């Protein structure tokens, strides 16, 4: 079902925007295949227009404090999940700002282990200043979760730089028979998260990439160019593995509840950000492409306007080719337009290595939406205040 975007949406639909802002509880279901920080500012603004957005997170993050938790408990990464929950939380509610401050707090990286364990103990007992200012029943729930984390924490666990929100979610994961969805649901209700956040996988798995130079890299953080030197060879193949020592493709099948979330969407968005580790990684899961193509809603790819280290050697057209390759794999009955209705660019203000080939998109049956989404203050990155009205108008 090749959906055609019929109307010219270069300019936002102000009538729809006014309706959404007045009745956000009735707002559209925009589904984001989202990973990390690139969508955080937009998420904070989005809750003023809809309480119904859906955010599917990769949970393969292997860097920072998330890596310590993954290795200690053999679990999916929770850092990006925690951040998105807080971005979507209703900050106007009494007590939520205090919870946000706690969930964002990190233990000092330079402190001694004894000091860090003492500080954790104060939190467990409700004596820490960040805990004391939170009202019941949330304070008791948080203290209980931190108690369980302290009890299950390995004796040699390194607390330096640990994020408190991640520790709380980890405790909830362990208490709920190693399931993330229950603890996400609990905290979503407690802090009034205005949307739905779910991990694409509930397993301890790893991202791996074979580069064109023949080398194989295992670990999301080694591909992003944020914690290590950027890759200098194109990614030839991306896959999920359950064995980082002997990486081979692992077939992960989409859970039915995730299929249902995708099929309920009013708009599906592949947003800007880390292309391979945040977006393409989700299409590796068997069933994701089929669920997307089974819907008749707009599906928008927002091309990065700055440099994405993961996309070394890739043009926008080749990025779209990769999305089609993985998203339509084993689904030959679908056309390119069934997976991607349109690609959103800002030709005047954006930087797209290799340029934009209009003929390529015409051949694929994919619409190009060329609209101003980069401001003088956000350049070279996308301005969420310009992007959001456009996405809402597409619903």
Reported as a single tens digit per residue, the pLDDT across 291-308 is 999 999 999 999 999 789
342 bridge partner residues: 300, 367
Residue 5, pLDDT above cutoff 80: no
Residue 95, pLDDT above cutoff 90: no
Reported as a single tens digit per residue, the pLDDT across 134-152 is 999 899 999 999 999 999 9
Mean pLDDT of 8-12: 58
Residue 313, pLDDT above cutoff 80: yes
CATH, domain 14-58+251-394, list 3.40.50, 3.40.720, 3.30.70, 2.60.40: 3.40.50
Q: For residue 155, give the DSSP letter.
A: T
What is the rounded average pLDDT for all residues in the chain? Answer: 93
Q: Which residue has the higher pLDDT, 323 or 38?
A: 323
Provide the percentage of residues in the chain whose pLDDT is more than 70.
97
- What confidence score (pLDDT) does residue 226 get? 83
- What confidence score (pLDDT) does residue 37 get? 84
210 bridge partner residues: 216, 237
Nearest Cα neighbor of 338 from 387, 268, 233 is: 268
Reported as a single tens digit per residue, the pLDDT across 28-54 is 999 999 867 889 999 999 999 999 999
Residue 387, pLDDT above cutoff 90: yes
Residue 166, pLDDT above cutoff 50: yes
Grade residue 1 by pLDDT with cuts at 50, 70 and 90. very low
Q: For residue 47, give the DSSP letter.
A: T
DSSP 265-294: -SEEEE-SS-IIIIIIHHHTSBTHHHHHHT
Domain with CATH 3.40.50 in the chain: 14-58+251-394
Reported as a single tens digit per residue, the pLDDT across 324-373 is 999 999 887 789 999 999 999 999 999 999 999 999 999 999 999 999 99
Question: Could you give the 3-state DSSP secondary structure of residue 105?
Answer: coil
Question: Could you give the 3-state DSSP secondary structure of residue 163?
Answer: strand
């Amino acid at each position: 079902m090749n959906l055609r975007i019929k109307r010219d949406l270069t300019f936002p639909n102000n009538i729809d925007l006014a309706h959404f802002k007045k009745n956000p509880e009735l707002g559209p279901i925009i589904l984001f295949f989202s990973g990390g920080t690139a969508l955080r500012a937009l998420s904070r603004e989005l809750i003023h227009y809809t309480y119904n957005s859906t955010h599917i997170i990769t949970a393969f993050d292997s860097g920072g404090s998330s890596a310590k938790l993954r290795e200690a408990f053999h679990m999916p990464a929770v850092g990006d999940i925690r951040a998105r929950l807080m971005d979507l939380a209703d900050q106007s509610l009494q007590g939520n700002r205090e919870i946000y401050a706690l969930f964002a707090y990190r233990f000092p990286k330079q402190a001694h282990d004894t000091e860090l364990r003492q500080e954790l103990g104060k939190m467990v007992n409700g004596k820490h200043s960040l805990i004391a200012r939170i009202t019941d029943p949330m304070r008791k729930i948080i203290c209980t979760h931190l108690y369980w984390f302290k009890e299950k924490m390995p004796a040699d666990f390194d607390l330096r730089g640990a994020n408190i929100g991640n520790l709380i979610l980890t405790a909830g994961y362990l208490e709920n028979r190693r399931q993330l969805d229950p603890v996400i649901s609990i905290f979503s209700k407690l802090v009034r998260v205005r949307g739905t956040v779910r991990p694409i996988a509930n397993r301890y798995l790893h991202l791996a990439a074979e580069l064109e130079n023949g080398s194989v890299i295992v670990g999301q953080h080694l591909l992003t160019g944020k914690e290590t030197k950027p890759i200098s060879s194109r990614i030839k193949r991306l896959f999920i593995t359950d064995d980082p020592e002997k990486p081979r493709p692992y077939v992960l099948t989409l859970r039915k509840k995730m299929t249902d979330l995708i099929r309920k969407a009013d708009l599906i968005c592949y947003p800007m950000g880390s292309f391979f580790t945040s977006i393409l990684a989700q299409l590796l899961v068997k069933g994701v492409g089929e669920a997307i193509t089974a819907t008749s809603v707009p599906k928008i790819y927002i091309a990065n306007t700055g440099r994405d280290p993961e996309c070394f050697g890739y043009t926008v057209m080749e990025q779209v080719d990769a999305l089609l390759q993985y998203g339509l794999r084993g689904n030959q009955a679908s056309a390119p337009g069934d997976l991607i209705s349109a690609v959103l660019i800002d030709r005047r203000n954006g930087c797209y290595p290799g340029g934009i080939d209009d003929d390529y998109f015409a051949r694929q049956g994919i619409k190009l939406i060329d609209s101003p989404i980069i401001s003088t203050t956000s350049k070279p990155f996308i301005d969420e205040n310009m992007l959001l009205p456009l996405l809402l108008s597409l619903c």
